[in-house]
Amino acid sequence: MIWQWLKNGLGYTVCLLICLAGISFALPKQQRISSDVTKLSQTSTPLSPEQLQKLAKTITVKISTKELLGSGTLLQKKGQVYTVITNAHVLITAKPPYQIQTPDGRVFNASVLQMAEFEKEDLAVLQFRSPDVVYQVAKIKDVSSLQVGDKVFVGGFISNLTNQNLSYQAAKIFNNQFLFTSGKVTFLLDKALEQGYQIGYTNDVRKGMSGAPLLNVSGEVVGINSLHKDPLWDTPEVYQDGSQPDKSLQELITQSSMAVPIKKELLQNHREKKS
């Protein structure tokens, strides 16, 4: 199964220390990025598509080595240290060291954070240090707030590294494109599939957008975008408990993009362990 491959591929990363060195310009004092977007994320009222796209750009980062690997979501801030969540399959695309490019274009070295709570999910966590700039972080909403038919939004960086006809400069420009898509929830599973997938939706997502935030109409993150519809590899067809969905649900799973919900209690446990 693909999950076993992911798990083996990440084995070398989870032992890394949380030792981060940010590559940033020296500023006389901390600079806050997009304070107006901060206000948007603190409200639970519906936002316009323009506001949602602006918010998505503010809390989404690029994860790369020499090339774009995928997207990530700015999840938490503690002092100068930022926590970014992405998909486990993003990190196995290339070996570390990994870099994170923030919305203002700065590039930081990042380390992988070990979180045993995510071993069964297609999730991975990185951290970086920003001593000079304050970035907006996501507001998390429990997946139970969603219903089938609700509007959801995904914004992330698209990659076309498999297109060998592109020159290096053309690929670099292409991989800087930020794609923002809207859609509707197609299914919400009571129990998770292998790799933790539970949310299905109609959004058109592309390669490179794995790890991007899945937003509700209020700009709250309800999950991490993980898998586009009709993937090249097999979709998960087994629940984590070993049982299987019925045939009609399996077809819907294949036809939907999917996300892993973020479990707030796990994040709370992480904060308590680090404090």
pLDDT at 33: 58
User: Residue 262 CB: number of other CB atoms within 10 A?
Assistant: 25
- Give the integer Cα–Cα distance in Å for 94 and 211: 15
Give me the pLDDT at residue 120, please. 84
Window from 99-103, 219-223, 259-263 with minimum mean pLDDT: 259-263
Q: Give the span between the Cα atoms of 193 and 1, in whole angstroms.
A: 13
Which has the higher per-residue pLDDT, 7 or 150?
Answer: 150
Contacts of 266 (CB under 8 A, 6+ apart): 115, 117, 118
Distance linking the first and last C-alpha atoms of the chain: 37
pLDDT band at 47; cut points 50, 70, 90: very high
More confident: 118 or 57: 57
Joined together, the tokens standing for residue 172 give 């670099």
- pLDDT tens digits, one per residue of 246-258: 888 988 998 999 9
pLDDT greater than 90 at residue 46: yes
Q: Which of 8-12, 82-86, 124-128, 262-266 has the lowest mean pLDDT?
A: 8-12
Mean pLDDT of the chain: 79
95: confidence class by pLDDT, cuts 50, 70, 90? confident
User: CA–CA separation, 40 vs 219, rounded Å?
Assistant: 8
* Residue ranges, CATH 2.40.10.10, the chain: 2-25+34-138, 143-260
What mean pLDDT comes out for the span 180-185? 97
Please report the pLDDT score of residue 173 as a whole number.
46
* pLDDT at residue 25, rounded to an integer: 31
Percentages helix, strand, coil for the chain (3-state, rounded to 5) are: 25, 30, 45
- 143-260 CATH fold: Thrombin, subunit H (2.40.10)
Number of H-type helices and E-type strands within the chain = 7, 15
Q: Note the pTM of the prediction, 2 decimals.
A: 0.78
Q: Which residues contact 140 (CB under 8 A, 6 or more apart)?
A: 75, 220, 221, 262, 264, 267
Q: The domain 2-25+34-138: what is its CATH number?
A: 2.40.10.10
Residues 74-85 have a mean pLDDT of 95
